[in-house]
Every structure is written in C-alpha cells, then in structure tokens.
Amino acid sequence: MEFNRSKFALAGALTAAVADVICAAVVALWPAGAERLAGSLMHLVNLQAAEITWGVFLSGLVQAFVYGYAAFWVFAWIYNRSLRGSRA
C-alpha cells in the first residue's frame, strides 16, 4: 500500500502545527518551566528569556507547518520507493 504523499504530508504538517500551538501555550503560561525543558531537550545552557508574541507564535506555526509538510512528504516518498524495491 502506497501513501498518498500530499495527504500524508498534510496530516504531518497539521500535527506539527498543533504541536507548535501547544508548545507556544506552554511557553506563554509557564516560561521558566518551558525554558528548563527546552534547555534540557536541546542541550542548551544559556537561554534568553522566552517571550511569545503573536508574531513569534504565527512565525513558529507557519514554520512548523511548512517543515512538517516537507518532512512528511519526503517520508512518504521514501516509504513508497522502499515498497517498490521490495517487490523485485
């Protein structure tokens, strides 16, 4: 079964966008905790104070969607290619 690359990529991009909304909410509501979490996750020591503005939020949301779409499209393409190769 092959993935429909566009539909798979859209589902992935929407998932990334939802994750971005949740992340922005966590940063807005609990900035110190979010900073500690991000620091440990990304192995960073000195994070500047995080401030979420509407511009920062929308920029992150658009980026999460675009990067997610591209990544999941490529994933579906690679998956579909691997299926073709296994039939031989």
pLDDT confidence of 87, banded at 50, 70, 90?
Answer: low
Counting other chains too, the contacts that 4-10 makes at CB distance below 8 Å and 24 or more residues apart are 4/76, 5/73, 5/76, 5/77, 5/80, 6/73, 8/72, 8/73, 8/75, 8/76, 9/68, 9/69, 9/70, 9/72, 9/73, 9/76, 10/69
Tell whether the model's pLDDT for residue 71 goes beyond 90.
yes
Better-scored residue on pLDDT, 35 or 12: 12
Structure letter (DSSP) for residue 43: T
* Cβ burial, residue 45 (10 Å; 0-12/13-18/19+): exposed
Mean pLDDT of the chain: 83
pTM: 0.67
- Structure tokens given for 9: 């990529």
What is the rounded radius of gyration, in angstroms, for the C-alpha atoms of the chain? 17
